[in-house]
A and B are shown apart, each in its own frame.
Chain A
């Protein structure tokens, strides 16, 4: 902000006193109007994250922005009789932005791949870049052009990008609800997809039950596998010194950096390796999954829920380990010493003091990690099936992600029968991950008040 602060005495304006009051009101109204105008411009810019085209709004937005800035400049002139440097810079950049935006169609049509989206994004970025500082200056004058107002006029820069992100998220959510919610009937969530050849006709059933249950089972199994291992690794890295602990800590950090697609490929190769002899032995069944037909014969499938959960837990273990480590490290040293001085063994201290203290961190790590894994379930599409064989540790794995993906891409029958649920499935998946995230926040509070007596030592 480089606006000059106005003086409260405005004696020499070369205007007759009788004319002053009206002009004062007009001048005071100018920044308010500018603020409103810039807000509209910002709204349009944010809207472009969900609109495919901003073409219709572009020129009016730039015109409104320029008018708003002109209003601020006039106001500054009237108050101070000096040029507001900030407003001048912004006027110039608005002119530049206008020029860029009018040149943009040429550029975008030249690069026709997703030209529309491309252009809207550019428009949005240019508008945001000019409108945000303008809003700060407008706010400065609306707040009364004092040093305190100068500090507070930074708010739009800090708040609006976050608000824009939330706005975009909200619009996506609204779209999902609009398209997905009407299809959520009782039949939709309890029915089971199946497709059979009866005679020469294909008889199929629709329903998402197995995908919902599959997602929940995957989350539960992933959490069960990842929790003890993650806590163990966290304890080892935080409590034991030496090269082994350092190596384990480093490897866990590296595990976080591994691409999820490497995990997917590993899962596929494990299933392939186990299935090379096409056997249906107990171990093979556990890894590949098994389906018993009506006649009692076992058939191998593409990969079991257990395998999927094992690979997903590789995503969650580092998160839990890190959370555990941080929780343990945040325990004040004098509490630790208090336990040692009472003749407690390290094991007793771990169970009674350290782990309860770290519990809020561990819970957050578990739920956030699991929510992330629930979203990353997509990478296991290679070993997922369409869920018609049921849900259980040894059954063929499936999830809502499979439905979302394959309802648009899969075999014709599946697309015809389940295509209608694509948006409903996305909505359900979003609800599940969202409740995990909310749950983690609530549990963190609860554990913190229970095991840390609500008092933070930081």
Chain B
């Protein structure tokens, strides 16, 4: 996947996490995590509420709250992210939030916001950037005739895919997603999952989710977190088929069972 008009087309990035601990005040939220995130793959992070999924995600682009104390090492393609300028890090690591948060501007301006903020792209490339990123986010055909309408007029599902397109427009190496389908209906969720699958290979995607079926559907790897620790981490098929840990089997299986009973 290449975005037209960008001088450099960086490949997907690889995160390596070593001995990561994150604490807010006296509460340790992440208690020593080691993990390598393969480039170009989709990693799903699952686990019960409060297990540190979102904190882990926000540590990766250094958007944890100001009071967080972080120890351990995180590298992106070999560079320590805590030695980088945070603004430059976020240009390489995009993020999609739980609640769609488009800017109160037109659809086009939303997509171009990051591009303009980072500079370096020619104005003549804007048209292509808008089309290709909206196409990857599976939104192009719905909005191509009304690019100058307000983004807030879109449905929630469309807004969320616009936020993905906005993150893609700056050609990041990694995209972080924090329960992106949390506020969407089943149809919008399916469309969102399709666009995540479409990103495989071109981007490294880390998606935090509560939805076990979604994790199984979109991801190559799955990490099961519980109380700030990684319980089990491996290929999705292996984890869902024959997880080594009883806790993971219970969590994934229990949820699957509950879904089957429904």
Contact = CB atoms under 8 A, between A and B. Distances in A.
A236 B118 CA distance: 24
Contact of A337 (B63, B87, B105, B152): B63
Given A343-B90, A455-B152, A352 B117 contact: yes
Chain A contact patch, size range: 20 to 34
A342 B104 contact: no
A413 interface: no
B108 interface: no
Interface residues of B, number: 29
A344 B113 contact: yes
A453 B153 contact: yes
A349 to B, nearest CB: 8
A341 B94 CA distance: 6
B116 to A, nearest CB: 8
B88 interface: yes
B63 A342 contact: no
Contacts of B117: 339, 342-345, 348-349, 352
A332 B152 CA distance: 14
Residue among B91, B102, B103 with most chain A CB within 10 A: B103
A342 B133 CA distance: 14
A454 B153 CA distance: 10
B63 to A, nearest CB: 6
Contacts, number: 74
B167 interface: yes
Contacts of A341: 61, 63, 90, 94-95, 97, 167
A343 B87 contact: yes
Given A339-B117, A343-B87, A353 B103 contact: yes
Given A348-B117, A452-B104, A342 B90 contact: yes
A343 B104 contact: no
A423 interface: no
Contact of A357 (B104, B113, B163): B104
A334 B116 CA distance: 20
A170 interface: no
A347 B91 CA distance: 16
A348 B114 CA distance: 10
Interface in B191-250: none
A335 interface: yes
B207 to A, nearest CB: 15
A348 B87 CA distance: 12
A154 interface: no
Contact of B104 (A334, A345, A349, A451): A451
A42 B135 CA distance: 68
Nearest to A455: B152
A161 interface: no
A342 B99 contact: no
Interface in A371-410: none
A340 B63 CA distance: 8
B108 to A, nearest CB: 14
B75 to A, nearest CB: 19
A356 B105 CA distance: 10
A337 B90 contact: no
Given A357-B104, A453-B150, A455-B104, A344 B114 contact: yes
A338 interface: yes
A348 B170 CA distance: 15
Nearest to A348: B117
Contacts of B71: none
Interface in B82-137: 87-88, 90-92, 94-95, 97, 99, 101-105, 113-114, 116-118
B166 interface: yes
Contacts of A356: 104
A343 B103 contact: no
Contacts of B95: 341
B146 to A, nearest CB: 13
A294 B215 CA distance: 88
Nearest to B110: A338
A330 to B, nearest CB: 12
Contacts of B97: 334, 337-338, 341
Contacts of B61: 341
A345 B113 contact: no
A162 to B, nearest CB: 34
Contacts of B116: 348, 352
Contacts of A451: 104
A334 B182 CA distance: 15
A339 B87 CA distance: 11
Interface in B158-178: 163, 166-167, 170
Residue among A340, A357, A454 with most chain B CB within 10 A: A340
Given A342-B91, A344-B87, 5 more contacts: A337-B97, A342-B118, A343-B117, A452-B104, A454-B150
| 8 smallest beta-carbon distances between A and B, as pairs | A343-B91, A344-B117, A342-B114, A341-B95, A334-B101, A453-B150, A343-B90, A338-B101
